Chains A and B, each alone.
Chain A
Amino acid sequence: MTMITEIQQEVTIKFAGDSGDGMQLTGTLFTEDTAMSGSDLATFPDFPAEIRAPQGTLAGVSGFQLHFGSREILTPGDDFDVLVAMNAAALKANLHLMAPGCTIIANTDGFDKKNLRLAKYEDGQNPLENDSLAGFELIQMPVTKLTREALAHSDLSTKDKDLCKNMFVLGFLYWRYNRSLDATLDFFKQKFGRKPAMMEANIMALRAGYHYGDTVEAFTTRYEVKAAPLEKGTYRNIMGNEALVIGLITAANKAGLPLFYGSYPITPASDILHSLAQHKHFGVRTFQAEDEIAAICAAIGASYGGNLAVTGTSGPGLALKTEAMGLALMLELPLVICDIQRGGPSTGLPTKTEQSDLLQALYGRNGESPLPVIAAYSPADCFEAAFEACRIALQHMTPVILLSDGYIANGAEPWKFPKAADIAPIEVHFHKARDNGEPFLPYERDERYVREWALPGTKGLAHRIGGLEKEAGTGNVSYDPANHEYMVKIRQAKVDKIADFIPEQELSIGPKQGQALFLGWGSTYGVIKSVVKDLLQEGYTVAHAHLRHIRPFPRNLGELLQQYDKIIIPEINNGQLCKVIREQFLREVIPYNKIQGIPITKAELKGFARQVLGHRA
């Protein structure tokens, strides 16, 4: 039989299985390999909140979606071309997102009576055996059985052997997409260095899957996706939380300060703590505090002591940190508060994404308490956003809230990373020691209304700060009415002034004026840009602007908004940026909101846009 290789422009694969089936790892390894092959890509991991949700059930399905191609890839894909279904529940939970003609790779061992019952298929109905999947390309393989056979000579228990079945599938996909196994084999060596039997078994399962494609004569086609025309340079694959960590360490390095990270574990921010704890050789001090409040308070203490202090959390934790954020604002000390948003309110949807903490970040404190707020828009962008948050905090002596979300945090994309030497330093000044006996004025300000950072231990600067209202200049406790009003206004002016030190708002795509501006922030970047791109091709005069700085806004934002007939704001919340834009610019806006814990799809947004825009300009 002749084997042909078909070239594809782009492919979306969904890896789906039980939450114990290792789908996240399978997806991540395939993604790494895809990135190395030069494709552009975007991923979307989607998993249950339970570590091991009830086996075989619909609630227990864990998924990993990868969209890759030889052209620009901005989203993980609305639906998929290939579904890997490790059991019946995985098929049932995902089938509605597949068009006829697409491919289903099914592990037949996951479609036994018990699995079918748990997936709530009717008695006696097996989708692999009735004709319900007619129209799809159905590839059936008894993965569990084949893996056990491949490992027949291994001393591992059957339970351990079964843990390798995801590698059989991965091997098969590597065959199908004409890939080399080398990177994954290297990964096994690192991961299982101390467990040679497990390493051997994973290697055998991976190879068995690869050879299965070759030897079973059922397959006539292999596929290839060429490298994407990305900008020239050196790339790596990166996930959002990882990029954020690198951004923080880089900022500390460029500021010449030790990095302190105080945190309490919370999904989806915990990986920041895990990753920073791996970087102690960069001088990173990680402190797993007893609670969210202690985490930020310890960071405040570290900031008082001259560290670049950061705390990280998600929505419920941000709520707990509220009072301490007010303290940091009053103390006028640098601090970065990372909020990796998830579905709320309350405990909400811990593993699902949402952009619903914007108003909490902007307004969620007692008193008049403005803090700069900035947002990351993609996994790789977390690097820039984290660096920028640190820069503003250090140079303007203020706490800064950095918003990311679960989708960005766990998503991945190729990153053309910078060289250390090309990154500008962050200049930081500490108040110098003195012994002339003159009183030290801790709340004296420069032309940007910024006070100086005075470190305990510095000769001649002994001073007291605290949460009570400060007297201008001296920082002494003051209940004077006029002083309070002055201090409230100067703290606001200090934050407003930051607008002079950030870039003007640019368009990501589209003409400088026209029918509509799509205004976004955070993780909706990819979907908005790709929809606007399509609309432009269809003849609409539309543009896309994506906000990095939400407080203060870039100075030209108001003017930019005036250049378009309509302002459309897509958000994964109930219209939070809309409220802010309306309030600040007295401008009517058109919200597009999806609040389902999952990203906005391209088709949804495009459909909405066509409806709102009507005719082409």
Chain B
Amino acid sequence: MSAKDFATGQEVRWCPGCGDYSILKQVQTVFAELELNRDEVAFISGIGCSSRFPYYMDTYGMHSIHGRAPAVASGLKIAKPELQLWVITGDGDGLSIGGNHLIHLLRRNFNLNVLLFNNQIYGLTKGQYSPTSEEEKITKSTPLGSLDHPVNPLAFALGVDGTFVARAMDRDAKHLKEMIHRCHAHKGTSFLEIYQNCNIFNDGAFHTFTDKESKPETTIFLEQGQPLRFGANLEKGIRLDCFRPVVVDLEKDGLSPDDLWIHDEKDLCKAHLLARFFDDPNHREQHYLPRPFGVLYAVERPCYEDLLHEQLTTAVRQKGEGKLDELLAGSSTWEIR
């Protein structure tokens, strides 16, 4: 199988150069690698540029309404637990109008995947700031700069007890593919934030993380069981001074990799700290921490749809299969002769 097997006949209508193309390509590639059956997959999206995604995947799909894809997916998953569900959303769709639903999707932990394309701007409505836009952002709707403090999507996901919380970027195809594989493998709601460049309304928003020059200094790629290292020659690392993450230089500080923070994606405390590595790389003062990519947190917890179907089975075991005539008659009846 190849990526093309999952492409539809529909002309892809994102702007040339949009980061969405890369994400689409990687999803299709991973699906081909996994040899998924198109009939057993459904994509559910809301509204926005990213939410056009289902039209381009030759699987089942629904382009629903703004912000509500998590709710639609919840009902579909209850009705058909065996389907592999992917929710496609963006920073506006998922964290602004649909923020409420995302909370409840994550805490209920349906077995499905959420890909949140974060471009820190409203694209389809032509360039207003979004809930992930940095402060003081000048846009059409904020000529004097935006006043809102931005949402931190991964801290949000951890805050509502998501069981799989990860970050990737459109420009690192290999890592993105790996993350899509991890999402697919996770049982429970996997939440993957993907930094996605909107070259029309917010070009270069993540340049500092994706640019070859700056990337080694501004990012850190997490691997399970491995020390937190970064820098062009992996010469830097993160150590924990009690609960305070500190950037160290292995050579200058005379440390070995074993002295560093060893990544453990099952450690919720550490995941919370990692999610807070959220400094603005454009204002790198003394305590700048690199932005983490990879799986911050991954644990198993029972899935909502499994629990729901267990309750149905238990109810039948306890009360016997419901009989319509008993339901119609209720507990007390009388005869008119």
Contacts and interface: CB of A to CB of B under 8 A. Distances in A.
Interface of A: 32, 35-38, 183, 227, 230-238, 246, 249-250, 253, 258, 260, 262, 279-283, 285, 287, 289-291, 293-295, 297-307, 309, 323-324, 326-327, 331, 416-420, 455-468, 476-477
Given A246-B327, A420-B324, A290 B72 contact: no
A21 B65 CA distance: 47
Contact of B62 (A459, A462, A464): A464
Contacts of A281: 312, 315-316, 318-322
The 9 closest A-B pairs by CB, nearest first: A305-B79, A466-B63, A301-B75, A298-B75, A282-B322, A297-B71, A301-B76, A280-B315, A420-B324
Nearest to A439: B9
Given A38-B336, A419-B325, A461-B39, A302 B75 contact: yes
A289 B71 contact: yes
A456 B75 contact: no
Contacts of B315: 280-281
6 contacts: A250-B327, A250-B328, A282-B327, A457-B82, A464-B8, A466-B61
Contacts of A231: 336
Contacts of B330: 236-238, 417
A208 B299 CA distance: 60
B233 interface: no
Interface residues of B, number: 61
Contact of A456 (B8, B64, B65, B80): B80
B324 A297 contact: no
A191 to B, nearest CB: 12
Contact of B79 (A253, A306, A331, A467): A306
A331 B62 contact: yes
B95 to A, nearest CB: 15
Nearest to B314: A280
Contacts of B226: none
A406 B38 CA distance: 47
Nearest to B79: A305
A477 B13 CA distance: 12
A304 B72 contact: yes
A107 B103 CA distance: 51
A423 B78 CA distance: 28
Given A297-B64, A457-B60, 14 more contacts: A236-B334, A237-B330, A258-B79, A281-B312, A290-B104, A294-B101, A295-B71, A297-B75, A416-B336, A417-B333, A455-B80, A457-B80, A457-B82, A477-B55
Interface string B35-78: 00011101010010000001101111111111010111111111
Contacts of A476: 10
B287 interface: no
B210 to A, nearest CB: 30
Nearest to B313: A280
Contacts of B66: 323
A434 to B, nearest CB: 11
B71 A285 contact: no
Contacts of A462: 38-39, 58-60
B268 interface: no
A307 B82 contact: no
Nearest to A295: B71
